[in-house]
Structure 1
Amino acid sequence: MKLYKLTTLLCLCLSAQAWALSNDTEQPIYIDSDNQELDIQKNVVTFSGNVVLRQGSIDIRADKVVVTRQSGKEGQETIDAYGNPATFHQLMDDGKPIDGAAKKMRYETATEYLKMTDDAVLIQEGSEIKGKIITYKIDEQKLVAESGKKQRVTTILQPNQLNKK
């Protein structure tokens, strides 16, 4: 438990200097795919086949994406992405990228919350975190990584980042 807290603290320190582009979540969401199905009554759209979702510098790529608009309210979409893996990319205000991958991702636009599940990995400036589940609060740059039953959270810190501190 102590190692888990230390790892999380180190990760937060590493990302504290790089904030997500401040206007990403204020941008429209663009989705390209091979197919699209719409259920108007349930406010659910399913995109499949080479799905590319963009919102500002946020770029999510997946085999399938399901967008649900809760109670039909614009700006409160839940986006579930599935792939082998699905990927996440975003630029920080300092121009440096953060990348993630997992078999399942959930992005909640209203709360700017990303949850990556199953073989999740998040990479920033060469350092990476791997775990069963990684949650990432985009606007606050807060990250939590959890291990699975037979795996542990793995963090790789690059020496050049440690020397900058």
Structure 2
Amino acid sequence: MKPSYPLPQFPLHRFGLALMLPFALVGAIAFPNQLQTATAQTSGQTSGENRPLTIRSDVQEYDAKTQVVTARGNVQLLYPARQIQATSAQAQYFSKERRIVLSGNVYILQQGGNSIKGETVTYLIDEGRFVAQPRTGRQVESTYIVNDNDLNQATAPAPPTGNFRRSN
């Protein structure tokens, strides 16, 4: 089942080649030491495997002192290790705190069809938890795919089994 709100598609001609590169690739050239720390922290894995977090946007900035990446304009976030893709107006990746803050018309889609829409959504990487906030006077919208087969099995009475004797 497809979600009722598919991710917006952005024409590739709007992005230059340099803007299409993931921030990790750009960071590897300009900030190799900071990137190694940020990439290792992003994984959330104990096996030592690094997992990519790709952010595409019109403009990106990296603050070496705070180790914060800020992306603005037509932001697209892909985090395959957590099966997350998102769009927003702005994204900030706080590598020290291991959190991502998306703001401005945020739409997050997880594989399987679960989704969240809101004005600001914070993703706490280590906890695997989203905290969504609406625009003033509005609400956050979440869609969860529920497997009715599991629900029916949990609420249906168990069929009789074994030999039964009538008691008098």
* TM-score, structure 1 normalization: 0.59
Residue 139 (str. 1) matches residue 126 (str. 2): yes
User: Which structure carries more helix by proportion?
Assistant: 2
Q: Root-mean-square deviation (CA), in Å?
A: 2.6
Q: RCO higher in 1 or 2 (8 Å CA, sep ≥ 6)?
A: 1
State the Cα distance separating 1:91 from its structure 2 match.
Answer: 2.5
User: Which structure carries more strand by proportion?
Assistant: 1
Q: How does 1:4-83 map to 2 (within 5 A)?
A: 34=18, 49-54=19-24, 55=39, 56-70=51-65, 77-83=67-73
Which of 49, 65, 79 is residue 90 of structure 1 equivalent to? 79
Which consecutive residues of structure 2, in runs of 5 or more, have no partner in the other structure? 1-15, 25-38, 40-50, 155-168
Say whether the 8 Å CA contact 1:51–1:62 is kept in structure 2.
Answer: no
Which residue pairs with 1:156 in the alignment?
143
For the pair shown, the structure with the greater C-alpha radius of gyration is: 2
1:53 aligned partner, one-letter code: F
Say whether the 8 Å CA contact 1:33–1:52 is kept in structure 2.
Answer: no
2:64 aligned partner, one-letter code: R
State the Cα distance separating 1:51 from its structure 2 match.
Answer: 4.3
Q: Percent identity?
A: 20
State the Cα distance separating 1:139 from its structure 2 match.
Answer: 1.6
Separation in 1 of the partners of 2:95 and 2:53? 11
Separation in 2 of the partners of 1:145 and 1:138? 14
Separation in 1 of the partners of 2:96 and 2:58? 24
Which residue pairs with 2:105 in the alignment?
119
